[in-house]
A and B are shown apart, each in its own frame.
Chain A
Amino acid sequence: MSQMQFGIFTVSDITEDPTTGRTLSEAEKIQDTLTIAQHAEEVGLDVFALGEHHNPPFWSSSPTTTLAYLAAKTTTLQLSTATTLITTNDPVKIAEDFAMLQHVSGGRVDLMLGRGNTGPVYPWFGQDIREGIPLAIEHYALLHRLWREDVVDWQGRFRTPLQGFTSTPRPLDGVAPFVWHGSIRSPEIAEQAAYYGDGFFANNIFWPAEHYQKLIGYYRQRFEHYGHGTAAQAIVGLGGQAFMRKNSQDAVDEFRPYFDNAPVYGHGPSLEDFSAMTPLTVGSPQQVIDRYAGMRDLFGDYQRQLFLMDHAGLPLKTVLEQLDILGGEVVPVLRKELAVNRPAETPDAPTHESLVAAARAADALEAAVAASEFAEVK
């Protein structure tokens, strides 16, 4: 069992390689991503998380299909999402798809929920972006029940009512997939994650650290408020971004054209300014180790660190080399360094096995209490 999980997340963008002017076809990019995900396991990473989009230049509209293929091709890789759109997907279909994925992957699945910020996706799926937060709250309330109650009667604002509905297949071993709630700025989502005792994932790669320190601090405090444990026991995940070469100047020279033309932050701040303000680290493996070993000083000991490694048109060969460095040189050192002085109360990253064990322990406790009450009555 690992204390911390390390992995990669991808947004599935098909972007021109600015150094060659070449743009991959969908077919090429999809195959590349399947290769990248499998290589993540080969180099010893724990997690592959895939985004969901419904507009070009992104290809990943159907993450559970992709993840099911990867489940069959891998043996240890934890399959996740970044993010699954809780607003515009039918929560019933999310319940069904991810329970099915649990079964075919042997429990190697969790998911990260997000609202999605592409305006037209909402009306394309019959929803209204102005209802983003209420949709996320109501849809998840239903999803949470569908995985935990065999027969659900339900009525809400956004979806047709359910009478006597059973979501199939039932979750593997009777335990729902672990859920992370992703948010960039909304305290409502941090509150929701805390209320349910779920994980909170801070994308972290666009905004200055101070912003996420406050948001994660708020989530931790509310997690304790709702009685799931101490603030230090809340389940936190962070995004990150790195590009590495043996000599740091080589990394900067090679990555700069990709940075300067990247879809989200390109043509804006300089690589140097952006690196100072966000966790982006471009340099030697040791520089990446130093930067990420310091994350817990900002956010507290945490459970999951995902890196964005494959965007902005970086070619497959480069991405695979980056994974070799990440898995071969960086993550093994980070695992060791982050284990040092990690408080005993800090939970390990949740897995299907740990959730099943926790559920069984809770059942046993309940049975023991019931038996003792029965004995008293007698």
Chain B
Amino acid sequence: MTDTRTITVVSAGLSQPSSTRLLADRLAQATTARLAADGVTAEVHVIELRDLAQDITNNLLTGFAAPRLAAAIEQLTASDGAIFVTPIFTTSYSGLFKSFIDVLDPDALSGMPVLLGATGGTERHSLALEYAMRPLFSYLHAAVVPTTVYAASSDWGSTGDAAAYAGGGGLPERIDRAAGELAALVRDSDRASRVRDPFALPDGFSPVGGFGAQ
């Protein structure tokens, strides 16, 4: 195993600059710092879904990814870990975010160490991470770390309110805790160095079939 790991950051923020990207960058920096403390170099790649919005829609319609989207999916799939951050729209992840997830191969994130983050105008939507985002990634068999990070607008102007988050602390503390959890999984990941065979046949596959069919 090498001392380098790749982490892909997927940000679904729509405005530029966006607080979603801001949170994504903070999570990536914190994770990189944690890995560096263990002597591991992290290579971080950022996918801004806004830049791929047309390709994502076209993929839904035609069934295939145009070259730039295909390259982004390949980059994500071959990473040791990933950070996904979406704005919360109308109680859940944004439509663009879900559309991107929908064009991934169902096995693309299987076993992938994943940190989830979300942004919103008020703290009232913070549980969307737990009732919408986490089940989505559980379905895809990703290894989601226990701490998710929600940043409301007000979080960017406070130093933390321990009373409001039982055992939580302020945004910097939550980012640091989540990053530590992700770094621990990424450090032990060998996903990026694995050779993936797109033509691997399922175990036990026979071109003539099984029971009595020959």
What are the residues of chain A within 8 A of B63 when measuring CB–CB?
Answer: 206-207
How far is A196 from B200 in the complex, measured between Cα atoms in Å?
A: 19
What are the residues of chain B within 8 A of A141 when measuring CB–CB?
Answer: 208-209, 213-214
Decide if B57 touches A208 in the complex (CB within 8 Å).
Answer: no
Decide if A191 touches B207 in the complex (CB within 8 Å).
Answer: yes
State whether A157 and B198 are in contact (beta carbons under 8 Å apart), knowing that A137-B206, A206-B64, A268-B61 are contacts in the complex. Answer: no
B91 to chain A, nearest CB (A): 28
A97 to chain B, nearest CB (A): 21
State whether A265 and B61 are in contact (beta carbons under 8 Å apart), knowing that A187-B200, A188-B205, A277-B66 are contacts in the complex. Answer: yes
* Partner pick for A156 among B70, B205, B207, B211, CB 8 A cutoff: B211
Interface residues on A, range: 20 to 34
What are the residues of chain A within 8 A of B64 when measuring CB–CB?
Answer: 206-208, 211, 277
What are the residues of chain A within 8 A of B214 when measuring CB–CB?
Answer: 141
* Partner pick for A137 among B67, B199, B207, CB 8 A cutoff: B207
* Partner pick for A195 among B58, B208, B211, CB 8 A cutoff: B208
Say what secondary structure dominates the interface of chain B.
loop
Decide if B201 touches A191 in the complex (CB within 8 Å).
Answer: yes
* CB nearest to B61 among chain A residues: A268
What are the residues of chain B within 8 A of A165 when measuring CB–CB?
Answer: none
Interface residues on B, range: 20 to 34
How far is A161 from B206 in the complex, measured between Cα atoms in Å?
A: 20
Decide if B62 touches A264 in the complex (CB within 8 Å).
Answer: yes
What are the residues of chain A within 8 A of B211 when measuring CB–CB?
Answer: 155-157
Decide if B212 touches A154 in the complex (CB within 8 Å).
Answer: yes
State whether A277 and B201 are in contact (beta carbons under 8 Å apart), knowing that A137-B206, A195-B208, A206-B62 are contacts in the complex. Answer: no
* CB nearest to B65 among chain A residues: A208
In the complex, whether B17 has a CB less than 8 A from a CB of chain A is no
Decide if A214 touches B198 in the complex (CB within 8 Å).
Answer: yes
How far is A277 from B63 in the complex, measured between Cα atoms in Å?
A: 13
* Partner pick for B205 among A154, A157, A191, A208, CB 8 A cutoff: A191
In the complex, whether B210 has a CB less than 8 A from a CB of chain A is yes
In the complex, whether A178 has a CB less than 8 A from a CB of chain B is no
The 8 tightest CB contacts between A and B, nearest first, are A268-B61, A195-B207, A155-B212, A187-B199, A138-B209, A137-B209, A268-B58, A156-B213
Could you list 19 examples of A-B contacts with CB < 8 Å?
A: A134-B209, A137-B207, A138-B209, A138-B210, A138-B213, A141-B214, A155-B211, A156-B209, A157-B210, A161-B212, A188-B207, A206-B63, A211-B64, A267-B61, A268-B58, A268-B61, A273-B66, A274-B62, A277-B67
